[in-house]
Structure 1
Amino acid sequence: MAAERKPTFFQSLAAGGLAGTAVDLLFFPIDTVKTRLQSAQGFVKAGGFRGIYKGVGSVVVGSAPGAAAFFSTYEAMKHSIPLHGQLAPVNHMLSAPGRKTSMYGASTSSFKAATLVLQHDGIRGFYRGFWTTIMREIPFTSLQFPLYEFLKHRLSIYLDRKPLYAHEAAVCGSIAGGTAAALTTPLDVLKTRVMLDLRDPSKQQVPSLPARFRQIYVQEGAKVLFAGIVPRTMWISAGGAVFLGVYEWAVHGFMST
């Protein structure tokens, strides 16, 4: 099997930017529907299917640099951490920092949402749900990328070829993303509830994350912790195929020029 070339920092940076923009533009409506399904006020009151592209401007602005930073960091760490063979999954877990874009609500424009955040919470409002996002993204990427690399490795052995074509890597990315998405849905529900909670912590008591999690489980049932699992799994499974497929296509294109 031929040795696989490693992309440079700038090749990973550019390919990651393309991948992030592509996946967020294509799958933004599914994430909007998922967020509204998880809202405590209910899907219809949260906006239903109306304006499912509202807020896309803020996502596009953040998607390219976010994905670019992610892949350039991931590739650099993946090839520098001295863990290989049976310890390779640990290498991939350590190399994969979280990379997702979060919305403040899902039924208003980016500018109007930003105005509401400033009015209600000030600058700190833009960081609402930060820790729950981190809490969700670490388990998510710790599952997604080791599984993605494992599937690519097994497929390369089966095909006796490296590197994989973009569509082959996309299939691996789809399976890995969908699996990680389904398993981390309860953490995503918790993140959504925190971000959509407009109570002012300085004026009234806001429950801690464990208390909020228990409250959802006791008052609404375990089923609610998996609200939105179908669109979330669909979105990230399909998004994983596009995200990682476009990245592999772009980075191999840059490396061949």
Structure 2
Amino acid sequence: MSSSLQVAGAFAAFTVDLLVYPLDTLKTRFQSQDYVKLYKDASGKTKPSLFRGLYQGVGSIILITIPSSGAFFTTYEALKYSINEAIPPNSTIYLPQPAINAAASGGAELVSCAILTPAEVLKQNAQMLSSKGRRTSTSLEVFKHFQKHPSRLWRGYTALAARNLPFTGLQFPAFEYLKGYFIQRRKDRNGGKPVDGIAERAGITAMSAAIAGSGAAWITTPIDVIKTRIMLAAGSGDDGFKADQQSKASTFLRDGVQGSRKSGFTVAREVLKTEGVRGLFRGATLRAGWTTIGSGLYLGCYETGRHYLEKNRRENDGEHLMQRDWSNVKTGIGRSRSQDVVKKSAWQED
């Protein structure tokens, strides 16, 4: 099961990253503290440079996609299963399914963010590089800048987790609910017949993910703005990409000072002071739009891949393989629970 999840999750993430990456680049540029200076002319019109080099930095994300997405989905499914197993249906402890989904997705995000943060820092700084001149790789150019201070590659972990935790905490419970709702409606229309078609399940999953993802993306945009500016600050040093860098006393929003360790709350206050609430929601429409596409494709591909692999395994190997896989699932030390004779649990024997 875990290998199937990793394959499906990695394929989904790889597909989506390539398709929606240009929109992510535009979002990063919109949210940058230097957006007006770099991408607006004296009359306030948008410069063509805003739309150049939209795939800058894509290499770092592609390389990290497989381990980060595989870790997320494997952890998510494992935590969801473990929590459900730990709290039986007739237990005195009641935990709603949406809360279980939120807890599982939150734990999965913490694992995924630890893997994803360095690539995210490289990506966002590469997205802001000028597209003029000839470069072999923007990702490598940015990476060279971090060689003297590699710890800065994890500078935005807290901000990334602070964005992704509420995002997944909102998205996945809504996604699971909507998917169950639409599948049940489809079954009712077909006289209770299960929804086994791969294309049909993919469509329902994609629609549910798109609706849940767009709403969660809009709500969490202020945290995304803060995360973007913290990560861009990590790559703007005295020997870095800003020719007009001033002293370390310069403000974060104007210069993105090297080594700045301002908290997210401080950055948020400065954005509110200089740009108002509108500044915290900069790029919200674009982010919600590409998340609608991205989440629909991502979870649609994931669900399709998982359903296909599991269906193919059942058809080719039958019940024997299913039994063999269950025997390999261990909880704690000793034999699998599925190998033992069913008996009362400790909590039932009192």
Query: Normalising by the residue count of structure 1, what TM-score does the alignment of the two structures yield?
Result: 0.89
Tell me the secondary structure at the aligned position of residue 32 of structure 1: helix
Shift of 1:128: 2.2
Moved more, 23-32 or 159-168: 159-168
2:258 to 197, 200, 204: 200
2:156 to 111, 117, 129: 129
Residue identity opposite 1:217 in structure 2:
L
Tell me the secondary structure at the aligned position of residue 145 of structure 1: helix
2:140 paired with 1:111 = yes
Relative to 1, partners in 2 of residues 1:43 and 1:71: Cα closer, same or farther, differing over 3 Å?
Answer: farther
What CA distance in whole angstroms lies between the structure 2 residues aligned with 1:37 and 1:9? 38
Shift of 1:54: 1.0
Q: Which aligned pairs between 1:219-230 and structure 2 lie closer than 5 A?
A: 219-230=274-285
Instruction: State the partner residue of 1:24.
Output: 17
Instruction: State the partner residue of 1:159.
Output: 186
Ranked by relative contact order (alpha carbons within 8 Å, sequence separation 6 or more), the top structure is: 1
Shift of 1:220: 1.2
Shift of 1:206: 4.4
Q: Percent of pairs identical after alignment?
A: 33
1:78 to 54, 61, 80: 80
Q: How many matched pairs? A: 245
Tell me the secondary structure at the aligned position of residue 53 of structure 2: coil
What CA distance in whole angstroms lies between the structure 1 residues aligned with 2:16 and 2:152? 26
Shift of 1:116: 1.8
Instruction: State the partner residue of 1:62.
Output: 64
- Rg comparison, structure with higher value: 2
Shift of 1:129: 1.3
2:99 to 81, 90, 95: 90
Contact 1:174 1:237 in 2 (8 A): yes
What CA distance in whole angstroms lies between the structure 2 residues aligned with 1:226 and 1:45? 19
Relative to 1, partners in 2 of residues 1:246 and 1:255: Cα closer, same or farther, differing over 3 Å?
Answer: same
Instruction: State the partner residue of 2:133.
Output: none
Shift of 1:60: 0.4
What CA distance in whole angstroms lies between the structure 1 residues aligned with 2:37 and 2:201? 42
Instruction: State the partner residue of 1:5.
Output: none
Contiguous gaps of at least 5 residues in structure 2: 40-48, 130-137, 188-193, 237-256, 313-350
What CA distance in whole angstroms lies between the structure 2 residues aligned with 1:74 and 1:133? 18
What CA distance in whole angstroms lies between the structure 2 residues aligned with 1:44 and 1:36? 11
Contact 1:81 1:91 in 2 (8 A): yes
Over the aligned positions, Cα root-mean-square deviation in angstroms equals 1.9
Residue identity opposite 2:100 in structure 1:
N
Poorly superposed stretches of 4+, deviation over 3 Å: 83-86, 161-164
Shift of 1:69: 1.3
Shift of 1:168: 1.1
Listed one character per residue, the Cα deviations across residues 159-197 of structure 1 (whole Å, up to 9, x for unaligned) are 123456111111101111111100000000000111112
Instruction: State the partner residue of 1:3.
Output: none
Tell me the secondary structure at the aligned position of residue 165 of structure 1: helix
Contact 1:51 1:107 in 2 (8 A): no
What CA distance in whole angstroms lies between the structure 1 residues aligned with 2:275 and 2:67? 38
Instruction: State the partner residue of 1:41.
Output: 34
Query: Normalising by the residue count of structure 2, what TM-score does the alignment of the two structures yield?
Result: 0.66
Instruction: State the partner residue of 1:252.
Output: 307
